[in-house]
């Protein structure tokens, strides 16, 4: 019964108010000691006392993700659903800054779009320091305006998903919300008027009487006042629609960056294809050179074989001619000399390696013999 929502509470955004907190975080809050001891039986009146005791804000921390007292009080407000006037008083409280943050956080979860902008935007002028507990259990320093900006612009805050709200310029277009007026707008207008007056005084001092009279004519004064009012209105509109221009510029920058990313991807693909084509072209050229080298070697080898064959045929013809030309008598008289010559020639052929059975090696030995090198075996 202690964890159930008040029966008189209304649904927020079509669901139970406690369902705005994720189930895991909700179960951790129910099991926490602070929830069981300090938040039991709290009402809208007694909740203020507990809120005044807060000294930091945050979501969950530590290895087991313990919830902070701030988150337990937010859960208690979702459970009892205090009235809107009480929440507004929380936000308007200037003495206790953590009470103000608690009311602003609860209104951001449960309030309408118009109420969120109407009650939270004035808190941009609050620059007081706040202690925030990080996920590792350490504390960091932040400010009230930073927390409010996080509630209005971010999707997550204190480990809770913020409900979606409309853009401010959309509500201004629908006439549901007045344009936001900056606190410094009056100071800007006074500064601009002072600069314009100084410029006009400088022009008046440097002009002659005729130009001075012409410049100070009633018609000229009316035109100058009309231009001054028009410039002031234009500057005021630019200040009012700053958020809208920021969103549009952000969308344009996003589209531009996405287009640049696509161009970079196309260039990268083009370079990749070009490198691959160049690599394939290089491989083709290498294969072509290897094929040409093999064909050249084959032609040289065939040419060597033909030369060796023709040389052997010419030698056989010379032997036959010498045999026919020599007579038996002379062959008998000088029998020892041809034998010596044959042995000498055979020894020389064996030494230079030109009579090798492989015609390629014989051709190479012949070339090496002409260069004075040793023959190949």
pLDDT at 28 over 90: yes
Q: Percentage of the chain surpassing pLDDT 90?
A: 30
Give me the pLDDT at residue 267, please.
77
In terms of Cα–Cα distance, which of 350, 352, 372 is closest to 363? 352
Residue 325 within a domain: no
Strand pairing class (156-157; 139-143)? unpaired
Give me the pLDDT at residue 134, please.
93
Residue 376 within a domain: no
Residue 370 within a domain: no
Q: What is the pLDDT of residues 361-372, one digit of tens each?
A: 888 888 888 877
Give me the pLDDT at residue 251, please.
62
pLDDT classification of 305: cutoffs 50, 70, 90: confident
Q: Let me know: does 29 contact 67? Beta carbons within 8 Å.
A: yes
Domains held by the chain: number: 1
Give me the pLDDT at residue 333, please.
46
In terms of Cα–Cα distance, which of 162, 147, 158, 165 is closest to 25? 158
Residue 102 within a domain: yes
Q: What is the DSSP annotation of 218-286?
A: HHHHHHHHHHHHHHHHHHHHHHHTHHHHHHHHHHHHHHHHHHHHHHHHHHHHHHHHHHHHHHHHHHHHH
Give me the pLDDT at residue 252, please.
65
Using DSSP's 3-state secondary structure scheme, residue 92 falls into: helix
Residue 275 within a domain: no
Token pair of 179 as six digits: 């344009």
Residue 258 within a domain: no
267 vs 312, which has greater pLDDT? Answer: 267
Q: Let me know: does 364 contact 358? Beta carbons within 8 Å.
A: no
Give me the pLDDT at residue 327, please.
45
pLDDT classification of 30: cutoffs 50, 70, 90: very high
Mean pLDDT highest for which of 230-244, 291-305, 346-360?
291-305
Q: What predicted TM-score, i.e. pTM, was given to this entire model?
A: 0.51
Residue 151 within a domain: yes
Q: What is the pLDDT of residues 157-201, one digit of tens each?
A: 988 999 998 888 888 888 888 887 776 666 777 777 788 887 777
pLDDT at 292 over 50: yes
pLDDT at 243 over 60: no
Give me the pLDDT at residue 212, please.
46
pLDDT at 330 over 60: no
Token pair of 233 as six digits: 């209105």
Residue 77's domain comprises 17-174
Q: What is the pLDDT of residues 205-241, one digit of tens each?
A: 655 444 544 444 566 667 777 777 777 777 666 655 5
Residue 328 within a domain: no
pLDDT classification of 129: cutoffs 50, 70, 90: very high
Exposed, middle or buried, 310 (CB in 10 Å: 0-12/13-18/19+)? exposed
**Residue 59: enclosing H or E segment and its boundaries?**
none
How many C-beta atoms surround the C-beta of residue 291 within 10 A? 10
Q: Let me know: does 34 contact 71? Beta carbons within 8 Å.
A: no
Q: Region 346-366: what's the mean pLDDT?
A: 73
Q: Region 249-278: what's the mean pLDDT?
A: 71
């Amino acid at each position: 019964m202690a964890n159930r929502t008040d029966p008189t509470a209304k649904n927020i955004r079509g669901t139970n108010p406690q369902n705005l907190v994720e189930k895991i975080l909700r179960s951790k809050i129910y099991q926490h000691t602070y929830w069981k001891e300090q938040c039991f039986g709290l009402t809208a009146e007694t909740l203020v006392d507990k809120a005044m005791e807060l000294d930091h804000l945050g979501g969950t921390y530590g290895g087991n993700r313990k919830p902070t007292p701030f988150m337990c009080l937010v859960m208690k407000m979702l459970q009892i659903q205090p009235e809107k006037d009480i929440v507004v008083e929380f936000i308007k409280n200037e003495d206790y800054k953590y009470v103000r943050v608690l009311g602003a956080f609860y209104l951001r979860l449960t309030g309408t779009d118009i109420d969120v902008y109407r009650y939270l935007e004035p808190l941009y002028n609050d620059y007081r320091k706040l202690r925030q507990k990080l996920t590792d259990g350490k504390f960091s320093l932040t400010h009230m305006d930073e927390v409010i900006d996080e509630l209005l612009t971010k999707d997550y805050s204190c480990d809770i998903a913020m409900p979606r709200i409309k853009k401010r310029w959309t509500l201004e277009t629908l006439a549901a919300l007045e344009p936001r007026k900056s606190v410094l707008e009056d100071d800007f207008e006074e500064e601009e008027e002072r600069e314009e007056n100084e410029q006009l005084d400088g022009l008046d001092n440097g002009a002659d009487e005729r130009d001075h009279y012409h410049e100070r004519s009633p018609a000229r004064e009316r035109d100058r006042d009309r231009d001054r009012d028009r410039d002031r209105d234009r500057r005021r509109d630019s200040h009012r629609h700053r958020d809208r221009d920021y969103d549009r510029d952000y969308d344009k920058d996003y589209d531009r960056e996405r287009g640049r990313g696509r161009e970079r991807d196309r260039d990268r693909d083009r370079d990749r294809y070009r490198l691959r084509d160049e690599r394939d072209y290089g491989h083709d050229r290498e294969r072509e050179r290897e094929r040409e080298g093999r064909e050249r070697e084959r032609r040289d080898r065939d040419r060597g074989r033909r030369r060796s064959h023709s040389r052997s045929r010419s030698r056989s013809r010379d032997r036959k001619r010498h045999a026919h030309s020599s007579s038996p008598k002379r062959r008998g008289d000088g029998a020892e000399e041809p034998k010596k010559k044959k042995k000498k020639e055979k020894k020389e052929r064996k030494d230079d390696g030109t009579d090798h059975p492989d015609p390629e090696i014989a051709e190479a030995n012949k070339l090496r013999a002409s260069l004075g090198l040793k023959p190949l075996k």
